Amino acid sequence: MLDAIDFTLVNWSRAQFALTAMYHWIFVPLTLGLGILIAIMETLYVKTGNEDWKKVTKFWMVLFGINFAIGVATGIILEFEFGTNWSNYSWFVGDIFGAPLAIEGIFAFFMESTFIAIMFFGWKKVSKKTHLAATWLTAIGANLSALWILVANAWMQYPVGMQFNPDTARNEMVSFWDVLFSKVAVFKFLHTTSSGFVLAAIFIIGISAWFILKGRHLAFARKSIAVAAIFGFVASIYVAFTGDSSARGVAHEQPMKFASFEGLYNGSEGAGLIALGFMSTTNTDPSNENLMDMNMKIEIPNILSYLAYLNWNAFVPGVNDLVYGNAKYGIMSSEEKMKRGRVAIAKLREFKDAKKSGNTELASQLKTEFMSPDFQKNYFKYFGYGYISDPNFLIPNVPLTFYSFHTMVILGFYFILFFFLAFLFVIRGKLVKKKGFLRLAIWTIPLAYIAQQAGWIVAEVGRQPWVIQDLMPTMAAVTKISSSTVQVTFWMFFVIFTLLLIAELKIMFRQIKIGPKMDGGNK
Amino acid sequence: MFGSLSHLALQEYWWVLVSLLGSLFVFLTFVQGGQTLLYTVGKTETERTMLVNSLGRKWELTFTTLVTFGGAFFASFPLFYSTSFGGAYWVWALILFSFIIQAVSYEYRSKPANFLGAKTYEIFLILNGALGTILIGTAVGTFFNGAMFSLNDMNQVNWATSTRGLEAVLTFHNVALGLSVFFLSRVLGALYFMNSVDSQAIFDRSKKQIIYNTIPFLVFFLYFLIRLVTKQGFAVDANGVVSMEGFKYLHNLIQMPLVLIILLLGVIGVLYGIFISIFKNSGKGIWFSGSGTVFAVLALFFLAGFNGTAFYPSIYDLQSSLTIQNASSSHFTLTAMSYVSLGVPFVLAYIWWVWKVMNTKKIDEAEMLEEDSHAY
């Protein structure tokens, strides 16, 4: 089914997609959260009639606009890259995957891009309430667009609501609601958007802290921090809860990814959670560079079993159990899955050949066999494994996944504490005096961005080699094109994104330096 | 409701919707056309700022329409998405590149410390205006002239040239459509300036530009149209077999009189908008030429996809050509998406309302000088 695989091409295509996604994800979370925070601030303006709130709103709106523009620029590529770089994927699952992208455009993007015009330019053209509605609709539009793209992403990690059609050689949708409301999609959406809220709240607190340390715009900074601290505190707790539910979904549907989160090579009952750990630099298994022991770890017993299966003594499979199988716990070996996958691919090939040669009777018989529930459950389910020749290829980059996951989780808990302190200092009116905390607030901004990027590394590196879990590995999804072509576009996008990022940061820093236009000068 | 329709009826319905999005996009390229006129219509810094700001309130609409056009094509005709985007890689990569540089330029152009300088962002806008329209027009030209691909029985694409789609420029008929879109977008851009900017100098210069750009537009478009109705086309029979048919697109026009009427309405609309702008000093030309553009492009899409025609033909392997039947999504997906499409009139309604609210008062110098306005 596949010609010889060009791994240079696969890696460059992955690099280009990762580049675009990671650049895009620098800007999107801020848009998601800042949009809502601006809408809250403007609501306070409309409710109280206090002009200061309008000025607070307008200042953050300027930063929103600068960030939004580059988010749009990096976003357009992502949608089209599914076609340009992953054309086999686009056909194999386009019947399902295209729908959320189209809905995103029709409902979310238009809402966002239409009302943003009123939000920025309509202050004197519409009434206060209409303007407020436009600001909320812009924020909701941004979050709705996140919903649909995350539904699409969740489907790749947990393909549901579909059926393979051998005639067209693709998967076809059979339940729209299963795709939209899959447990993975729901938690992915809630976790990802609320993490954006956290980042935006930290962004506001950090920048406001800088104003306080400089002794400028104190009233503005206090107002901004008050809103952001409350919002951020609630959002950060919510992120922890949805993260927990997301991880449980991963434990059930993507056990290899879950094992990589924890660097768990050999599964056990009553598995402990590694709160902190450092991996060895030497390989335990010379055939796979990802298999490494922990040099040092702080482990909390039984917690991992409980988090994954809500049972303190449940068995959590490790990488080795998933690769080599574990008869005691009914885990099939990868070799067996690969064998079954090859049977499924061969059957499809046979069907296609029979069809091509005009042997309709044989074709019809093969199709019936292919579509039988038994074949679907025992063979087609492992279709993607048929492309794999070495079981070690099924192991993602464990160290990268492990460190990214732990960085994200540790920072997540730190953010809860951070917001709690910010909230406490605000209500006690001591914020201005807490110089150390204010400095910490500034340095927390980059940490929030690191947590965001780490989250996506966990989600995307942890699921390798799958582009669609168990059904299609990355190498089978790629567009057949010369790797040098992809290298050229990779560098083209890299250069322009980097230039634009520098421009964005410089403009953003200058606007912050200029500060809000508040009455009473700097006070 | 939609579930009881035949697969073919749903495919036709979605071809109409995708065509409508494509047509609206071409109308909205008045933003791109306007961008290429920044220095010819705007002679002073303030004038250019007014032009940038008048376009700046609409650029996202064009951008979003393009993205939605891509998404809708993906959802309804995924085989086109995988074949054309994966195959004509360079064409799409360059189009995307031109839209990346556009997206930041409005917001960053006049901001202090913008790193690359205001001129660079203006050049970005001009590049987007020229490259975006010419390349998209040329790419759509391949709907009538074919592309160099083949599909295997798993529907995986193999592109036959190393230039990955750029070879489309070697067919002048494709380029003629690209240049038609480019000059039409400039005409529409100038018409939009006449409608939305309150400055006599800009009004007069825009009028002049309409004359200068209408002439090449008509030359290229008429060439495109005449060549289209006289050339061979890609016919599909009831069994899905593709063959070449002399005067195929002329036959399509004759056999689908409604499409002929839409095309004529389109051409008349475009010309009438230009006429009242030049001879009656009207600022309303954009509405006539804009609607005309939508009709004309709609007719071209219908010619490409309906009446047993392959809308994305392969000149490398004729039987790999894409038709609305072999390239479409399943009955279930098209049904689900058809329910989604019921929301489109609602979306169009609020876009219309916001447009009206924002354009009630024309952009003038005073607005640009307001201290607390959010200006580009």
pLDDT at residue number A299: 87
Q: Which residues of A touch B159 (CB under 8 A)?
A: 480-481
Among A72, A120, A163, the strongest candidate for a mutation testing the B interface, having the largest count of B CBs within 10 A, is: A72
**Closest residue on chain B to A167 (Cα):** B154
Residue B57: which of A104, A109, A121 has the nearest Cβ? A121
Tell me if B103 and A79 make a contact (CB, 8 A cut-off). Answer: no
- The tens digit of pLDDT for each residue in B74-104 reads 999 999 999 999 999 999 999 999 999 999 9
- The tens digit of pLDDT for each residue in A150-197 reads 999 999 999 999 999 999 999 999 999 999 999 999 999 999 999 999
Query: Residue A163 pairs with which residues in a beta bridge?
Result: A172
| Structural domain for B18, as ranges | 2-358
**DSSP state for residue A108 in the 8-state scheme:** I
User: Which positions ≥6 away from A499 have C-beta within 8 Å?
Assistant: B115, B116
Residue B46 has pLDDT above 80, yes or no: yes
Torsion angle, alpha carbons of B286, B287, B292, B294, to 10: 100
- Nearest Cα of chain A lies from the Cα of B70 at a distance, in angstroms, of 7
Query: Residue B82 pairs with which residues in a beta bridge?
Result: none
Going by pLDDT thresholds of 50, 70 and 90, the confidence category of residue A320 is very high
Going by pLDDT thresholds of 50, 70 and 90, the confidence category of residue A3 is low
Alpha carbons A269 and A437: distance in angstroms, whole number? 42
Q: Which residues of B touch A116 (CB under 8 A)?
A: 60
Note whether residue B367 is domain-resident: no
Going by pLDDT thresholds of 50, 70 and 90, the confidence category of residue B371 is low
Token pair, residue A398, equals 């464990």
pLDDT at residue number A519: 54
Note whether residue B17 is domain-resident: yes
Nearest to A46 by CA among A165, A155, A167, A135: A135
Give the mean model confidence (pLDDT) for residues B291-307. Answer: 98
Q: Which residues of B touch A497 (CB under 8 A)?
A: 100
Residue A521 has pLDDT above 60, yes or no: no
- Nearest Cα of chain A lies from the Cα of B80 at a distance, in angstroms, of 9
Nearest to A308 by CA among A256, A243, A244: A244
pLDDT at residue number B25: 97
Asked if A113 reaches chain B (Cβ–Cβ under 8 Å), the answer is yes
DSSP E strands: which ranges in A445-522? 466-468, 472-473
Nearest to B80 by CA among B247, B252, B329: B329
pLDDT at residue number B317: 97
Torsion angle, alpha carbons of A9, A12, A16, A21, to 10: 100
Going by pLDDT thresholds of 50, 70 and 90, the confidence category of residue B209 is very high
Share the mean pLDDT of chain A: 93
Phi and psi at residue A276, in whole multiples of 5°? -150, 140
In the block, tokens 């991992």 appear at A304
Alpha carbons A494 and A137: distance in angstroms, whole number? 33
Give the mean model confidence (pLDDT) for residues A296-301. Answer: 88
Tell me if A125 and B361 make a contact (CB, 8 A cut-off). Answer: yes
Going by pLDDT thresholds of 50, 70 and 90, the confidence category of residue A520 is very low
pLDDT at residue number A105: 93
Note whether residue B287 is domain-resident: yes
Give the mean model confidence (pLDDT) for residues A69-86. Answer: 91
- Nearest Cα of chain A lies from the Cα of B156 at a distance, in angstroms, of 6
3-state class (DSSP) for residue A520: coil
- The tens digit of pLDDT for each residue in A334-345 reads 999 999 999 999
Alpha carbons A174 and B174: distance in angstroms, whole number? 39
Share the mean pLDDT of chain B: 95
Alpha carbons A94 and A152: distance in angstroms, whole number? 11
pLDDT at residue number B372: 58
What is the CB neighbour count within 10 angstroms for residue B134? 23
pLDDT at residue number A523: 42
CB A169 within 8 Å of CB B153: yes
- The tens digit of pLDDT for each residue in A358-394 reads 999 999 999 999 999 999 999 999 999 999 999 999 9
Alpha carbons B70 and B85: distance in angstroms, whole number? 10
Among B21, B25, B330, the strongest candidate for a mutation testing the A interface, having the largest count of A CBs within 10 A, is: B330
3-state class (DSSP) for residue A294: strand
Q: Which residues of A touch B82 (CB under 8 A)?
A: 83, 87-91, 94
- The tens digit of pLDDT for each residue in A105-141 reads 999 999 999 999 999 999 999 999 999 999 999 999 9
pLDDT at residue number B370: 75
- The tens digit of pLDDT for each residue in B101-134 reads 999 999 999 999 999 999 999 999 999 999 999 9
Nearest to A407 by CA among A376, A437, A449: A449
- Nearest Cα of chain B lies from the Cα of A112 at a distance, in angstroms, of 9
3-state secondary structure chain B: CHHHCCHHHHHHHHHHHHHHHHHHHHHHCHHHHHHHCHHHHCCCHHHHHHHHHHHHCCHHHHHHHHHHHHHHHHHHCHHHHHHHHHHCHHHHHHHHHHHHHHHHHHHHHCCCCCCCCHHHHHHHHHHHHHHHHHHHHHHHHHHHHCECEEECCCCCEEECCCCCCHHHHHCHHHHHHHHHHHHHHHHHHHHHHHHHECCHHHHHHHHHHHHHHHHHHHHHHHHHHHHHHHCCEEEECCCCCEEEECCHHHHHHHHCHHHHHHHHHHHHHHHHHHHHHHHCCCCCHHHHHHHHHHHHHHHHHHHHHCCCECCECECCCHHHCECCCCCCCCHHHHHHHHHHHCCHHHHHHHHHHHHHHHHCCCECHHHHHCCCCCCC
Residue A494 has pLDDT above 80, yes or no: yes
Q: Which residues of B touch A356 (CB under 8 A)?
A: 153
Alpha carbons B254 and B247: distance in angstroms, whole number? 11
Nearest to A395 by CA among A441, A334, A354: A334
What is the tally of structural domains in chain B? 1
Among A56, A109, A178, the strongest candidate for a mutation testing the B interface, having the largest count of B CBs within 10 A, is: A109
Write the ipTM: 0.93
CB A415 within 8 Å of CB A454: no
Token pair, residue B72, equals 């809708």
Residue B47 has pLDDT above 50, yes or no: yes
Cis amide leading into A446 (omega within 30): no
Going by pLDDT thresholds of 50, 70 and 90, the confidence category of residue A277 is confident
Note whether residue B369 is domain-resident: no
CB A118 within 8 Å of CB A131: yes
CB A307 within 8 Å of CB A274: no
Residue B74: which of A68, A102, A482 has the nearest Cβ? A102
Alpha carbons A331 and A335: distance in angstroms, whole number? 12
